[in-house]
Amino acid sequence: MNLYAGQVLRVDLSKGELSKEPLREEWLKDYWGCWGLAVKYFCELVPPTTAPFSPANALVIMTGPLAGTLAPTSSRFCLVSKSAHTGTIFESNMGGAFGPELKFAGYDGIIITGRADSLVYIRIKDGEVGLEEASAMTGQGIFETEALLKEALSPEAKVLAIGPAGENMITFACVGSEAYRQMGRGGAGAIFGSKNLKGIVCRGTGGVRVADLEAFRRKEAHWTQTSLLTEDNLWAKSDGTSILVDVTNEMGLHPTRNFSLGVNEDHAALGPEAVRQAKLADRACASCPLGCGKFTHINGAEVEGPEYETLSLTGSNCQMNQLEQVIRFNRLCDDLGLDTISTGNIVALAMDLTESGRHDFNLRFGQPEDYLAVVTEIATLSTARGKDLALGTKKLAEKYDAQDLSTEIKGSEFPAYDPRGDYGMGLAYATSERGACHLRAFTIFTSDHFNIEALAQDVVNGQNLNAIKWSMCFCDFWGTVNTVIMADLLTAGLGRPVAPEELNRAGERIWNLARLYNLKAGFTAADDRLPRKIMEQKLGNGPNEGRVFRKEDFERMLQIYYRLRGWDAKGAPTKGKLAELGLQPL
């Protein structure tokens, strides 16, 4: 088969059985791969009211058609499941090297159901697959687990692993790979933990075929030169994501002191210059010429990163203006297996509760000792404070009557762009299928941050484009990729003409299918909302000082968005829209 491996690995952890089944080729023209295909498999397999920690929940891991080829940034792949953190369907994607390795082993994806009786890992060596005992790795961090799994199979093998946070089913626990790469958001690690799955190790010695190699190479080189390696995207190579520290401070929407301020006066301590000073090396995911990863080292603390979200949410948002401490916090999260976006929000909330006298967690803005200690306490549930913070922002705020201070939507903690400084981000967070997320639509590079009509359209367009983009899968940082480029590469890869219009429609279809699932899971328009803080508390400083995102403005924007999407006033796709996209109600 061209591009695709043509095979999926099925793992039933309850029965301890593995089997190989042919890829559902009839779904490819409508869902393509990675996110789209994973959503389709998931919707067919898991009823929307399934409890996330039930054995009936599935983990659908899926690569895209371009994984394992020279198409730049194509090594990204995803996991789709039902989140225990939000109760929604969610997708979580990752770079690194596992995706191509799985393809080379002969599988487009892995579908995992059930629950093992004791801790296990999945072992894949090309056609030889099996479940192995993992009890000796109980409680091990991700770094050590990866080392042990590679030792067991091959130094060239690639690993997905959880740490103690996932084993303890902390709902925002992540899955790690290649040390510093994660499926960060939505709590994939917790689902692994609920299934007693410590990890997956894979070695693949096969390859990926394309229909017309000469044309594929020519087109790939052309798009890499004329689209990827251009000024719009080269920030990733020169600075990495830390550049956004400067950008968002300038815009005045940089999360500071638990989202009470929009500018961190000390942001230079966490910005691109500070990262450059600490940098030892540039790092790249498989297939990527950009190499956005910055491997940093200060006083014995090192990490690949910190990325923008971590610098702002565990840095500025906690008023921790010391890069060394952020590196330490980041490394702890990566090893123990906690999402830094969620953890940064939660720690900042706890600092706010402490300093406002509402509940003393002994966590203070800018105080490093407890800031670092609490990460382990959360992951291992070793203290009362750790157990509280392990609840996540939504439940923590409910417990301590702090919903005026918390920043989450559908339970997912806020990424690092304050909606009071860009209404598009507010709508993007509120309408993301997995709760507050910046990887569905991203509007901050707009000319008018408060034009409700224009931004509503931008959010629709962004979500549709990203839905097909993450189905190829390409990286967010190829900011200028579009469906013309995708269609061109797929045409040479598959040996059949692919039109951009098919991909555009597929993006919209994938988005609508995820929406149908959430509606059946019990979500309504009322859940597409903003937190009180954003609607009522004025931003405390900077270019957006005094701003809120008023409820009336948001509601108006939401209705415009629903209309643009062809959804009714309750946020449900109309019959006409479903027919147009070839979707059946679930």
Partner 1 sequence: MVKHLLAFPDLCTGCNRCAYVCSAVKEGLFIPLRARVHVQNFPLHGYSVPCICFQCPKPECLEACPEKAIYKNDEEIVLVDKEKCNGCGECVPACPYGMIDLGPDNLAYKCDYCGGEPACVQECAPGAIVFIEPEREQKKIKALQMKHRVASGTPEEKRRARAEVFLKEARPARAASA
In contact, 316 and 269? CB cutoff 8 Å: no
Kindly tell me the sign of the dihedral angle through the C-alpha atoms of 156, 157, 158, 163.
negative
201 binds partner 1 per the rule CB under 8 A: no
Dist CA 495 CA 216 (whole Å): 10
Distances (CA, A) of 406 to 203, 346, 402: 43, 8, 7
Q: Which is nearer to partner 1, 180 or 400 (CB)?
A: 180
Sheet holding 158-161, edge to edge: 128-133, 120-125, 197-203, 158-161, 175-177, 181-183
Distances (CA, A) of 508 to 89, 103, 522, 568: 17, 26, 22, 16
Q: Which is nearer to partner 1, 204 or 435 (CB)?
A: 204
Alpha helix stretches (DSSP H) within 46-187: 98-105, 142-153, 164-167
Q: Which of 209, 529, 532, 551 binds partner 1 (CB under 8 A)?
A: 209
Q: Which of 30, 91, 304, 528 binds partner 1 (CB under 8 A)?
A: 304
Query: How far is C-alpha 330 from the chain's CA centre?
Result: 16
What x/- string results for residues 160 through 179 when contact with partner 1 is judged by CB under 8 A?
A: ------------------xx
**Maximum C-alpha span of the chain:** 67
Q: Which of 55, 206, 366, 495 binds partner 1 (CB under 8 A)?
A: 206
Q: Which of 64, 186, 293, 411 binds partner 1 (CB under 8 A)?
A: 293
Looking at 25-33, 182-190, 281-289, 344-352, which segment touches partner 1 (CB under 8 A)? 281-289
* Element spanning 243, H or E: helix 243-251
Residue 219 Cβ vs partner 1, minimum distance, rounded to whole Å? 13
Alpha helix stretches (DSSP H) within 260-416: 272-278, 308-310, 323-336, 340-355, 368-380, 384-389, 393-399
Residue 358 Cβ vs partner 1, minimum distance, rounded to whole Å? 40
Looking at 44-52, 208-216, 315-323, 530-538, which segment touches partner 1 (CB under 8 A)? 208-216
In contact, 427 and 259? CB cutoff 8 Å: no
377 binds partner 1 per the rule CB under 8 A: no
302 binds partner 1 per the rule CB under 8 A: yes
372 binds partner 1 per the rule CB under 8 A: no
68 binds partner 1 per the rule CB under 8 A: yes
In contact, 278 and 447? CB cutoff 8 Å: no
Looking at 69-77, 373-381, 415-423, 554-562, which segment touches partner 1 (CB under 8 A)? 69-77
Residue 280 Cβ vs partner 1, minimum distance, rounded to whole Å? 6
Q: 126 by DSSP, 3-state: which?
A: coil
Residue 517 Cβ vs partner 1, minimum distance, rounded to whole Å? 34
96 binds partner 1 per the rule CB under 8 A: yes
Structure tokens given for 369: 């000792």
Instruction: Kindly report the backbone phi and psi dihedral angles of residue 6, in degrees, each rounded to the nearest multiple of 5, phi listed first.
Output: 85, 10
Residue 179 Cβ vs partner 1, minimum distance, rounded to whole Å? 4
Residue 224 Cβ vs partner 1, minimum distance, rounded to whole Å? 9
Q: Which of 217, 276, 387, 532 binds partner 1 (CB under 8 A)?
A: 217
Residue 203 Cβ vs partner 1, minimum distance, rounded to whole Å? 10
234 binds partner 1 per the rule CB under 8 A: no
205 binds partner 1 per the rule CB under 8 A: yes
Structure tokens given for 123: 């072992």
Indicate left, alpha or beta for 293 from its phi (over 0: left) and psi (-120 to 50: alpha).
Answer: beta
Residue 28 Cβ vs partner 1, minimum distance, rounded to whole Å? 19
Dist CA 466 CA 381 (whole Å): 36
Q: Which of 57, 69, 248, 314 binds partner 1 (CB under 8 A)?
A: 69
**Count residues contacting partner 1 (CB under 8 A)?**
43
**Residue 487, number of CB atoms within 10 A of its CB:** 17
Q: Which is nearer to partner 1, 80 or 301 (CB)?
A: 301
7 binds partner 1 per the rule CB under 8 A: no
Looking at 18-26, 201-209, 425-433, 531-539, which segment touches partner 1 (CB under 8 A)? 201-209
Dist CA 263 CA 540 (whole Å): 9
In contact, 303 and 273? CB cutoff 8 Å: no
243 binds partner 1 per the rule CB under 8 A: no
Q: Which is nearer to partner 1, 304 or 413 (CB)?
A: 304
List of residues contacting partner 1 (CB under 8 A): 68-70, 72, 96-97, 104, 143, 146-147, 155-156, 178-181, 205-210, 213, 217, 229, 237, 280-291, 293, 295, 300, 302, 304
